[in-house]
Amino acid sequence: MKFAKDNSPGHKKFQKLPPRLLLKGGAIVDPGLALHETADILIENGKIEAVGRIDAAGFDGEAADIAGKIVSPGWIDMHVHLREPGREDEETIESGSLAAANGGFTAVCCMPNTTPAIDSQEIIQYIKDRARDSLVNVFPIAAITKNREGKELAEILDLVEQGAVAISDDGNPLMSAEIMRRALEYSKMANIPVIGHEEESTMTANGHMNEGFVSTCLGIEGIPSVAEDIMIARDIMLAEYCGGRFHVAHIATRKGVELVRQAKARGIAVTAEATPHHFSLTDEAVRGYDTNAKMKPPLRSEDDVQAIIEGLQDGAIDAIATDHAPHSWEEKAQEFIYAPFGIVGLETALGLSLARLLHSKKMDLNSLIKKFTVNPCKILGLKAPVIQKGETANLTIFDLQAEWKFLEANSLSKSSNSPFLGWSFQGKPFAVINNNRFFISIL
C-alpha cells in the first residue's frame, strides 16, 4: 500500500499503512513532550520505531517526504454528533469518522443525543462495534439522565465501565439544579467530567438567534447571553459545593468565560471548550436569514468573540471542539424559525483555528495544538498520544501555508450545513495516521 492519496472514484476508505514507513523532514510539534524540531519518523506496523535523523539511503520500506509540514500528535474533537443510531441519513459513525480524518482528527467524542440515546451499555457497545477497525478512535459520551430527559440519573458507573469517557445531556440543558448536583456528586466515583449544555431554557424557549441589535433588526426572537451565563454560574457553584468535575460545552459569552476564569482561580474543578465558529463569526452572519448560521449557543457579539479568543489565550478555555452537528439539507432549507440548530465543523476546525488564532498572531502553534490534544485528553482522562519510540503512531500532519477552499465536493460528512462553504483558508490538513491506518485529506 502506497502512502498516497486515494484518487479512486466513489467511496473513500481508510488505507492500511505500509509495513515500514519513513516520514522525512516534518516539523514535529509535540506539546506533551515539549518537542519542537525537524525530524524523521520511522513507523513499523503502526508503531513509532524511531524519531530523529534517519538515513533513507538503503531503507527498504516506503519513504514519504513531508518537509515543510507540521507533525503533531493526533488531534481529538471532544464534541461531535455522529447521529448514529437514529439519523443515519445525516451522518454515520463511518462518515463522521471519515470527515474527522479529512479534517485532521484521529479521535472524536460522540454526544449521546442519538435515537435511542447513549444511556445504556448496549448502545455504547454498538458504537464501539461500529467504530472497530477505524483509523479514528470514537469515544462515546453517555447521557447524564435516562433518555436525556433530565429526570433520573442514567447508570453512570455501568456506562463508564463500558467505555463512556464523560456524561452529558448535550442538546438539552439540565434544568434541574438538584439532578445536576447529584450528577456531579455521583460521577466522582467514576472520575469523569459532567459536560454541561448551558442554557436556561425558560429564557430561550422561543429564541432562534443571539438577542441583540441584529435579532431586533431581523425580527427574530432572541436567545439572551445571560441565559447561558446563569447556568454556567449555577453549575460552577454546584461544583464548588459538592465537588465533581464540571466541563462547559461550547462556551460563547464573555461573562461565561470570566466565570470560568474566576472559578479556576478559586481552585474549582471546571474546564471549558469553545467552537471555531464561536471565535470566527458573530450574529451579523445571520443577516440574510442563513439557516447555516443558526446553532446553539447562537453566534454572539464581536465582544463575545474577543472574549473567547482571550480565554483561549490565557487558558480559561482549555480546548477547541467543533460541536459538529450534521443536519439534512431538507431540514436546513426551511424557514429560519423551523430550521434545526447546528452546523458541521470537523473539516473546517483546523482552517478556522489557524486563521483566527495562529495567522492573526493570537496564539503560537504549540499552544494551539494543545487545545486539540493534551488539554482535551486531560479533561477526559485519556492518555494523550505522543511522538515517541514505542508508541502507536497517532499523528496529525498539516500544512500552514497551502491555500484551499472549503467545497461540498471535498467534504466527507454526509451533511453540508456549514456557513463556511466557499471560504478560503490558508493551511490545511494533509494526512492522519492512527491504528495502523492512514488517510490523506481530500480537502
Which residues are catalytic, by number?
323
> At its nearest, how many Å lie between another protein and the CB of residue 332?
11
C-alpha cell at 210: 443571539
Q: What is the DSSP letter of 324?
A: B
CA separation, residue 119 to residues 111, 112, 143, 260, 373 (Å): 11, 7, 5, 28, 27
Complex with another protein: residue 122 or 302, whichever CB lies closer: 302
* Residue 30 β-bridge partners: 35
* Residue 433 β-bridge partners: 395, 438
Residues interacting with another protein, by CB under 8 A? 211-213, 215-222, 288-289, 330, 333-338
Complex with another protein: residue 176 or 206, whichever CB lies closer: 206
Contact 173, 201 (CB under 8 A): yes
> At its nearest, how many Å lie between another protein and the CB of residue 218?
6
Distance of CA 25 to the CA centre of its chain: 28
Q: Sheet holding 319-320: strands in order across?
A: 75-80, 105-110, 137-142, 166-168, 193-196, 245-248, 270-274, 319-320
In order, the DSSP letters of 29-84 are EETTTTEEEEEEEEEETTEEEEEE----TT--SEEEE-TT-EEEEPEEEEEE---T
Q: Phi and psi for 116 in degrees, rounded to 5?
A: -70, 165
Contact 113, 171 (CB under 8 A): yes
Complex with another protein: residue 285 or 442, whichever CB lies closer: 285
Q: Which residues of 401-418 are buried (b: 16+ CB within 10 A; e: fewer)?
A: eeebebeeeebbbbbbbb
| Beta strands at 429-434 and 424-426: parallel, antiparallel or unpaired | unpaired
Complex with another protein: residue 9 or 219, whichever CB lies closer: 219
Please tell me the distance from the alpha carbon of residue 395 to that of residue 373, in angstroms, as a whole number: 11
Distance of CA 352 to the CA centre of its chain: 13
* Residue 435 β-bridge partners: none
Contact 211, 184 (CB under 8 A): no
Complex with another protein: residue 44 or 221, whichever CB lies closer: 221
Complex with another protein: residue 99 or 220, whichever CB lies closer: 220
> At its nearest, how many Å lie between another protein and the CB of residue 337?
5
> At its nearest, how many Å lie between another protein and the CB of residue 330?
7
> At its nearest, how many Å lie between another protein and the CB of residue 397?
40
> At its nearest, how many Å lie between another protein and the CB of residue 300?
13
> At its nearest, how many Å lie between another protein and the CB of residue 221?
7
Complex with another protein: residue 55 or 330, whichever CB lies closer: 330
Complex with another protein: residue 334 or 424, whichever CB lies closer: 334
Q: Which amino acid is at 65?
A: D
Residues 6+ apart with CB under 8 A from 396: 71, 72, 73, 74, 75, 104, 105, 106, 372, 429, 432
> At its nearest, how many Å lie between another protein and the CB of residue 312?
27
Please tell me the distance from the alpha carbon of residue 262 to that of residue 107, in angstroms, as a whole number: 30
